[in-house]
C-alpha cells in the first residue's frame, strides 16, 4: 500500500511541489496583508500627538502681539509642552534668547535702524524716539539650573544697547542658555516697561522676545511682541481654524483647532462627536481655559445647524487675561474614512462668539 502511494507521488511530483509552494506563498501573503492592515490601524487610532518640548507661557512659533497686564511681566521658557508640564524633554535644551526694543511708526512695528531709515534726515524726530526709549528693560529672573529664583535680577536697559540696535542677547555659541532635561525646567525673563505706556490707547513701543533652540532640528524658535497700553473695551472678534493646511485635500492622523481673537464674551466651541474626539487635557484646569460657570462637561446640541454636535462654552477676555489664543487637539473617530473633500475635517468643528 505504501509503495503504491509513493509510486503515485513520484509520478506526480511536480504537481505536489507546486501545491506546497502555493500554500507557503499564500500563508506569507496573508500574514503580510494582515501585518500591514494592523500597522495602518495602529497609526490611525493613535491618541498621542507630537509634543512641543520647547515652549513658553507667551511665545509661539508664530509671533503674536500680546498686551502686558502690568508694567512687569515674566516670559517663561520651558522644556515641556504647555499641555503636558509633567512630561519634560528627556535631554538638555541649549538655546539663545534675544530681546529687542521696537517702535511703531506709521502703523508699522520696526527696529530702530529701520526707523532711522524711514525718518531719513529728520534727526530730531529720531532723537525723540531715542529719548522715550528709556525705561524699557529685561533681566533673567529665574535660572532653573543654577541660581533658581533670582530676587534682584540684573535688569538691562535697552537704551544702553543702542549700538546693537537696542538688542539684548542671553546665551551664545560658547555658553548657551540651558534647560536641563529629565525634569520640568523653566527659565524666566522679567520684562519691564514704563507705567506711562498704560495711559496710552495705542502702543508706541514693543519688546520683541525670541527663544531659539540650538542643535535640535525637531525644535523651532518661538517669539512674542509685548506691549503696554490702556485697558480699553474693544469690539470682540474671535475665530477658530484648523492648524493643518489644505484639509480638503490632505488627510491627517489628528488635528489641532486653534482659536484666536481679542475682546471679551462667551464662545461656544462645537464639534461633531461622530467625527472628532477632543483631547481630555482641554477640559482640565491645566489647560488655562475658563469654562462658563465652571462647566467643562460637553453638552449635546438638540436643534439647528449643528444638531447632535457636542458643545462647551468658554469665557474669553483678552484684555484682562492677556490670553488671545486657545488650542485643542482633535482625534479622528472614523478610522477608514478620509477627512477630505465632502468630508473635509473643517466641516465638523466650529465656534461662535456671543
Whether 246 contacts 286, CB under 8 Å: no
pLDDT of amino acid 45: 34
pLDDT tens-digit readout, 46-61: 344 456 799 998 998 8
One domain for residues 76 and 188: yes
Q: Based on the structure, what is the number of domains in the chain?
A: 2
One domain for residues 203 and 82: yes
One domain for residues 76 and 123: yes
pLDDT of amino acid 270: 96
Kindly report the backbone phi and psi dihedral angles of residue 192, in degrees, each rounded to the nearest multiple of 5, phi listed first.
Answer: -120, 130
One domain for residues 243 and 216: no
Residue 232: all three cell numbers together: 480699553
Q: How far is CA 140 from the centre of its chain?
A: 24
pLDDT of amino acid 61: 86
- Does some domain include residue 193? yes
Q: Which of 36, 29, 4, 171 is nearest to 96 (CA)?
A: 171
- Does some domain include residue 49? no
One domain for residues 346 and 214: no
Element (H, E) at 31: helix 13-45
Prediction pTM value: 0.59
| ∠ Cα 117 123 129 (to 5°) | 80
One domain for residues 176 and 101: yes
- Does some domain include residue 191? yes
- Does some domain include residue 256? yes
- Does some domain include residue 39? no
Residue 207, burial from CB neighbour count under 10 angstroms (0-12, 13-18, 19+):
buried
Kindly report the backbone phi and psi dihedral angles of residue 204, in degrees, each rounded to the nearest multiple of 5, phi listed first.
Answer: -110, -30
Domain boundary among 198, 227, 256: 227
Domain boundary among 227, 247, 267: 227
One domain for residues 136 and 275: no
Max CA pair span of the chain: 118
Whether 116 contacts 107, CB under 8 Å: no
- Does some domain include residue 38? no
Q: Strand, helix or coil at 82?
A: coil
Cβ neighbours, 10 Å, residue 65: 13
pLDDT of amino acid 38: 32
Report the alpha-carbon distance of residue 52 to residue 314 in Å, rounded. Answer: 24
- CATH for 344: 2.60.120
One domain for residues 257 and 141: no
Residue 163, burial from CB neighbour count under 10 angstroms (0-12, 13-18, 19+):
exposed
Report the DSSP beta bridge partners of residue 314: 267, 291
Q: Kindly give the confidence (pLDDT) of every residue in the chain, 354 residues in length, as a single tens digit, with 9 standing for 90 and above.
A: 555 544 554 555 555 555 554 555 454 444 443 333 333 333 333 344 456 799 998 998 888 888 888 999 999 999 998 878 889 999 999 999 999 999 999 999 999 999 999 999 999 999 999 999 999 999 999 998 666 788 789 999 999 999 999 999 999 999 999 999 999 999 999 999 999 999 988 899 999 999 999 999 889 999 999 999 886 555 678 999 999 888 989 999 999 999 998 888 899 999 999 999 999 999 998 888 999 988 999 999 987 789 999 999 999 988 777 788 999 999 999 988 999 999 999 999 999 988
Report the alpha-carbon distance of residue 226 to residue 99 in Å, rounded. Answer: 10
One domain for residues 178 and 305: no
Domain boundary among 227, 260, 280: 227
Q: How far is CA 228 from the centre of its chain?
A: 24
- Does some domain include residue 50? no
One domain for residues 143 and 288: no
One domain for residues 68 and 209: yes
Q: Which of 330, 336, 335 is nearest to 348 (CA)?
A: 330
Q: Could you list the residue range(s) of the whole structural domain that residue 286 is in?
A: 237-353
* Dihedral class, residue 171 (left if φ above 0, else alpha if ψ from -120 to 50, else beta): left
pLDDT tens-digit readout, 65-105: 888 889 999 999 999 988 788 899 999 999 999 999 999 99
Report the alpha-carbon distance of residue 39 to residue 59 in Å, rounded. Answer: 37
One domain for residues 143 and 81: yes
Q: Which of 178, 191, 183, 213 is nearest to 61 (CA)?
A: 213
Amino acid at each position: 500500500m505504501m509503495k503504491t502511494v509513493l509510486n503515485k507521488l513520484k509520478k506526480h511530483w511536480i504537481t505536489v511541489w507546486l501545491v506546497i509552494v502555493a500554500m507557503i506563498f499564500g500563508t506569507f501573503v496573508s500574514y503580510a496583508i494582515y501585518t500591514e492592515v494592523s500597522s495602518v490601524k495602529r497609526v490611525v487610532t493613535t491618541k498621542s500627538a507630537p509634543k512641543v518640548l520647547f515652549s513658553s507661557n507667551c511665545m509661539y512659533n508664530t509671533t503674536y502681539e500680546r498686551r502686558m497686564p502690568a508694567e512687569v511681566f515674566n516670559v517663561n521658557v520651558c522644556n515641556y509642552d504647555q499641555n503636558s508640564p509633567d512630561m519634560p524633554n528627556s535631554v538638555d535644551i541649549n538655546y539663545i534668547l534675544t530681546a529687542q526694543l521696537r517702535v511703531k511708526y506709521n502703523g508699522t512695528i520696526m527696529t530702530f535702524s529701520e526707523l532711522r531709515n524711514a525718518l531719513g534726515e529728520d534727526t530730531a524726530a529720531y532723537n525723540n524716539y531715542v529719548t522715550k526709549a528709556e525705561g524699557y528693560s529685561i533681566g533673567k529672573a529665574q535660572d532653573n539650573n543654577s541660581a533658581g529664583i533670582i530676587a534682584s535680577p540684573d535688569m538691562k536697559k535697552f537704551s544702553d544697547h543702542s549700538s546693537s540696535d537696542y538688542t539684548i542677547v542671553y546665551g551664545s555659541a560658547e555658553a548657551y542658555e540651558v534647560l536641563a532635561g529629565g525634569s520640568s525646567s523653566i527659565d524666566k525673563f522679567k520684562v519691564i516697561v514704563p507705567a506711562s505706556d498704560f495711559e496710552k490707547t495705542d502702543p508706541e513701543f514693543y519688546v520683541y522676545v525670541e527663544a531659539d533652540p540650538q542643535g535640535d532640528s525637531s525644535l523651532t524658535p518661538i517669539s512674542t511682541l509685548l506691549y503696554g497700553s490702556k485697558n480699553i473695551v474693544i469690539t470682540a472678534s474671535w475665530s477658530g481654524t484648523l492648524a493643518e493646511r489644505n484639509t480638503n485635500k490632505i488627510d491627517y492622523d489628528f488635528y489641532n483647532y486653534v482659536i484666536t481673537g481679542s475682546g471679551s464674551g462667551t464662545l461656544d466651541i462645537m464639534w461633531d462627536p461622530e467625527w472628532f474626539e477632543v483631547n481630555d487635557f482641554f477640559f482640565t484646569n491645566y489647560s488655562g481655559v475658563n469654562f462658563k460657570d465652571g462647566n467643562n462637561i460637553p453638552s449635546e446640541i438638540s436643534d439647528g445647524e449643528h444638531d447632535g454636535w457636542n458643545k462647551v462654552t468658554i469665557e474669553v477676555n483678552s484684555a484682562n487675561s492677556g490670553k488671545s489664543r486657545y488650542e485643542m487637539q482633535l482625534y479622528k473617530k472614523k478610522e477608514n474614512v478620509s477627512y477630505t473633500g465632502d468630508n473635509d475635517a473643517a466641516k465638523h468643528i466650529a465656534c461662535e462668539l456671543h
